[in-house]
Structure 1
C-alpha cells in the first residue's frame, strides 16, 4: 500500500466514519475476489494491513462499529459464505418476567389455560445463557448442518464453524435419538476464555470485545473456520426444533437424553413444582450467578410436560409454555449533560438524556430515554444533575432518579418546547384518546411534511423486522434522503433501477462498484416480501409484529388486507359513538343495552315526577348497573342530553367491515381504528399503491384446509367447561379456523357455553349455526 494514511490518533470522528466506509468497501471487494472468484488481487500482507487499520479505528471509535463491519465478518463475502438456512421449526423468542409476582402469574396463567385450578404444575428452571443461539441438525445421528438463529425463521449456515466447537458432537452418542432432529442451544464464551481472548487481542494490537456475548457472536461468524477453531467457544444444549419422531414425554427427560447423546447441559437446571418452586429456583440461581464461569441474565421457566406444551401452543412469536425471568437491572451514577429531543415516525417527541459515559453491566452507556415531559417534571430531572442510571432488563438504559444533594446551584427545571425541533418548527400537540382525553405524549403536527417523521418512517421500513434491506443502513438512507433520492418507500425500489443515480453513486466518495452492486442486490432481494412484513413495514401506529402477523393470517393476501382497510375506514365509528363507548364505567354490556334502547321507537313509561337521571335510567334501561347509570348521569347531566347522545351513537356505530377488523384476535378496536385512519389518508393510500407497483407480496401461510372447520369463522361465548377459552381459540386456529370476538353475518359457527348472552342472541337472529361445547369437540375430532 503506497498511500500515506493519517494516524488513527489524529482522525476526527467525521474522518473516521469516512475511513471505515472506504475500508469496508475495499475489504469487501477483496473478499469477493478471494472467496468467491478465487482471484486475489492483493497480497496477504496488504489485505491484513486493511483489516488492522479497520480494527484500530474501531478500537479508537468503538461507537462507530456497525453491524456490517469487516471485523464482524458481515458483508458480501459473508452472505455468500453463510447461505440462508430456513429452520424446520421457527426459533422463537420468550416473553419476560421481572418480579416474583409476574413469575407467580405465569404459573397461574398456565393453570387457567389448562383448567388445572387446584393442581400443581411441574416446570424446569434453566439458567438463561447470555450467548448466541444456534440450531444443529442431525440425520441418522450425524451432524449435517448448523445455523444461527437469524430472524427466527431463517438463519445463517455456520456448519463448519460449529463443527469446531468441542461441546458439539459430530455424531450422537447413546441411543433413542430420532432419525432427524434439530438440537437448539447457546454458543458462549466463559469468563476466563473471554479474558484470555481480549488479552491476546490487546497484545497483538487488535480490537477487543465489549463482553463475552459479542465475542462469541464474532467468533462464530468468522468466514474462516480455522479462526473459529482458535476461539474457545462452548455450547449448552437446552431445546430442539424439528424432529422425525417423539423421544421424550417431559422437558426434564429430554435434558437427560441430550446429555446421554453427548451434549453439555446446564448443571444448574432444576425440576420444580408450582409458583413456590419457580421462586426458589430463581433465588438459587441469583445467588449462584456470581460464582459461575459464564454469563447468565436470568432463568427460563418451561412447563415440564411436553403434551401440555403442545396444548398451550404459541402466541405469534412466543410460546405460552415458557417465560424468561430476568435478573434486576444493574445501576450506576453519572452526570446528565444535556437533554435532546427526538421525533419518531408517528410524530411523538421523546426527550433523550445525553450522559457522561458510564459503564453499566459491562456496557458503556451515553444516552437514555426520558420518556416524556411529564416524566421529566415528575422526577424533576435537570441538566447538570447526578442521576441514577439502570439498564432495564440489562438492555434499555433509563434514568430512575436524581441525587438532589449533588445538584448544581445553577440547574433549572427543564422547559419542554412547544414546537418541533425540525426546520418547519411545527407546533407540538398533546395526543388525545378516542374520547378526547389528553395523554402525556406530545406529537409534531406536521406528519410527513416533517423531515424527522419522514426519515423515521423510512428507517422503520428498512429495519430488521420489516424489509431488512442488506446494504441500506441508517447512514446510507440518511444520505439518500438528503440528496432527495428517497422520499417514500417505493423510491428505494426505483433507485435500484435508476442507472443515472447509480452511476452518480459509483462516483461518490465512499462508494464503489462493489458497494453499489451489493446495495442493488439487497434491494432486489426484497421485491418479494411476506404479507406480515409488508404490513409491519407500513408503520401504522399500534400495529406491531404480533398485530401484523394476526392481520396477515386473517386476510391472507395483500389485496384482501388493503380492501379491508379501505372498507373499515368508511365504516369506522363516529365521534358520537366513541363518546359513549369510551365513557369510563360503561362496559360492553351496558353499551349494548343503551344502543338497543336508543334504536327502538320511544316507549311510553310511567316515570315519577322529579326523578333523577339515574332513577330514570334504572326504569327505562333495566340492564344498566349502578356504575353505568352513575357514569352516564355524571357525563350528560339531564335526560334530554343523554337521549340525544344515545340516538346519535346508534347512527355512529361501526359497520361490519370495521367490526371484523377489530374482532381479529390480537388486533382490537384501537389498532383497527389506526388501520382505518391510515387508509383514510390520501398520501398513505398513494404510498401503498406506489409500493405495490414495485414489489410482490407473498400471501400468508395458508392455514389447514383438510379439517371440518378449515376456513370457517368461529366465535366462542359463555363459559366453556372442558377447556379454557384460550385453549379453544388455539385449537380452532391450529385447525385452520379464524377466531373472532364478535358475531356478524360473516360468522360461520358460534360455540356457546353456559351464560352466553348477546352474542348468542345475535347468532340466533342471524340464523348462524350454534354448537354446544360437546358438539364442538365432536366436530373437531372428525
Structure 2
C-alpha cells in the first residue's frame, strides 16, 4: 500500500479514505508485533522498525484526527498480561513515553516544553537525562519498608505477579534502608510505596546463556531484552535465579509519597533505600547539555554491559511535571530520544557447519569483515536450520549484520534486491562434518544431531558425563584432566578409558601447574626438586619452569576407580553412554525391562515404547543410537574390557512382586542407604520409582531435609512414609499405613 505524503500538499494527502486504510493496516501490524514482543518474547522486527510504524500512525492521526479511535495503538500503553501469572493492578497507571526519532524531534520537544513552562535564559528548565535501558518494566511494592510484591508493566494498568521470581534477583532489596524510609511521607505503620524501573540481562550473561542454549540444541533468545522477559516469566523461580538478571530503578507510582521535589533528588533517595540506580544519569540545564549527553551515550553504548536503545529526557522538577501532566498514553514532561540501529551491509561467502559438544550441528555464517559497534566481525552463528529458513539467507547474498545487544554478531537478513541469480537455499549436511556419521533430525525438533559416541567434537562432554557421579562415578577424572588426556591422544571415547589408559601414562600427564624456577642456574641437572616442586629465590623474580605431572599416587587412585567402575549395574552404563533423553531413571527402566544390553539392542521400537515411562520419542532415540556402527564398536570394546552389560536381575531368582502397580518417589536423606539403593530395593519388589510427584504417585518416602517433593505430596494428598516405614516395606514387601 502506498503512503500518503503527510508533509506535502498534494491531492493524495487529502484522501481521507486512503489514510483510513493505511491507519488500519498500521494498527494491525503494531498490535501483531506488540503481541510478539510483549507476550511471546519472540519479535519478528527490531525496535527501530516498530517505532517508525508507530510514528507514522501518530502523524496520520494528527493530520486526520477522526482516525484517532479509542482502540488505536496510539491510545494504549504497549504490553500484554498473560494468564500464566496472577493479575496485579498497579497503584497508578504505568505510562509509555513518546519517542523522538532524531535530534530535530528532540529539539522540537525541548522548545515546546520550555515554552509551556515559561523558561527564560536566566531561569531555564532543568532536565534529568537517563539512559533508556532495554529491558522489562517492573513495579516493586514495599510495605513498612519490606518487599511484598513485584509485577510486570503489563498493559499499564494491570501487570503480572512475578514476586517469587523477582525475589531471586540479587540486587532487589528485600528491606529498605532506614535512611531512605525516613524520607517517605507520612512514614508509619502500614505505609505502602510502589517504585518502578527496568529488569534487564547483562550482555555478558546474555552471551553465556545463548551459548549454552545453542550447544544444547535449544532455541536462542533474540536479544537481552527478550532473554530478560523470558527469564522473569518462568514458572520455576530457580530458572530465573540462574539467569543473572539485574535492575535499575528510576520512578515511583506517586511522587507525593517521597519528601523530594525533583527527579535527580528522587534517584538519590532510591540509592539511599538500597536500590540500584543507573550511575550515568545527569542533570542538564540547557539544550546543548542534553545534546552532549545524548551524543556521549550513543558513542559509548557498546562499552556498557547492558543494552540501551536511547536516552530518556525528563523535566527534573516534580512541580513542573505536575503542571505539564499527561496525554492519554504518555507524560508530556518526558521524551525518549531513540538511537538509530547500527547495521552494516556485507557479503555472505560461506555457511559452515560446526558440531557442538552435545552433537548439535550449528550453521555459521562467514562474511566479508565489516566494522560494527566498535569492532570488526566476520562470522555469526545462524543457530539452526529453522533460523536459516526464517532469515532466508543464501551464500552470495548481500546481508545486513549488527550486534545483538551491541555484543553478539548477528545476521539480520538478506538484501533481496542484490541477491545473485545463482544463489541456492542452504541445506544441512546428512553426515556429521566431524566424524562422518549420519545426522539425526527428529520431527518437531529444531536441532540436527550427530549421535555417534565416537565423534571427536563431542569427546570431552561425553567423557565428562561418563565419569559423573550418577554414571560410572570415576573420581579424579574431571574436565581439566580429561582435556589433557584428549590433547595427549590418550582417549577419544569411553572405551579408551578401559583399554588405553595406563597408570604410567596418567602419572606422566601434565596437570597444568608448573614448577617455579628463579633462573636456569637455580636447577642444575640431576638436582632433586624441593618439597612441593617449587623453587624459590630472593635474588631474581620467579619464572615458569617445567610442568608438574599428575604423579604415581594420583594415577594409582584413578586406575583403581576405573577398575571399580566395571562392576556398575547396567542402568548406570546405559545412562553413562549418553543416549539423548535417556536420563538415569529411564536407564534404570530399560535395564529392568531387558536382561542385557544385547536384548536392548535387539528390541524393536514398539517393544521399547511399551516399557512404562519410556514412550515413542525415547524409544526412537534408543533404537537409532544402536544403528550407528561406531556406537556398536564402542559397546563391544566395553564388553571386552569386562564391564557389566547384563541386568543385575539376570539369572537371579526373582523376589515376589508384591509392590507391582505402586509408584514411589524418594526425597531427602535416608540414613544408612542412598536414594539409589533404596530405589533399587523397591524395584526388586516390583515397584516403580519416579523422579517427581504427581496424582499417580502411590507413596512418597521422605528422609531428612526433604524438600519441594514433600510439599507437593502434601498438597496433592499423596501418602507420606518415613525411613522406618521403608525398612518395613523392604522386610515384608507390603506398604504400611501412611503417617
TM-score by length of 1: 0.35
Answer with 1 or 2: which has the greater Rg: 2
Higher RCO (CA < 8 A, seq sep 6+): 1
Scaled by the length of structure 2, the TM-score of the pair is: 0.37
